[in-house]
Chains A and B, each alone.
Chain A
Amino acid sequence: MKATGTVFKYGDNVDTDVIIPARYLNTTDHAELASHCMEDIDKNFSKSVKPGDIIVGGRNFGCGSSREHAPIAIKASGISCVIAKSFARIFYRNAINTGLAIVECESAAEAIQNGDLVSVDFDTGKIENLTRGQTYDASPFPPFIQNIINSGGLFNYIKSRQE
Chain B
Amino acid sequence: MAEIVSLAEAIAATIHDGDAVAMEGFTHLIPHAAGHEVIRQRRRDLTLVRMTPDIIYDQLIGAGCARKLVFSWAGNPGVGSLHRFRDAVEHSWPVPIELEEHSHAGMANRYQAGASGLPFAILRGYRGTSLTTQTTGVADIVCPFTGETLTAVAALRPDVTVIHAQRADRLGNVQYWGITGVQKEAVLAAARSVVTVEEVVDSLEPRPGAVVLPSWAIGYVALAPGGAHPSYALGYSVRDNEFYVAWDAISRDRLRFESWLDEHVYRTAGEPR
A and B are interacting partners: no
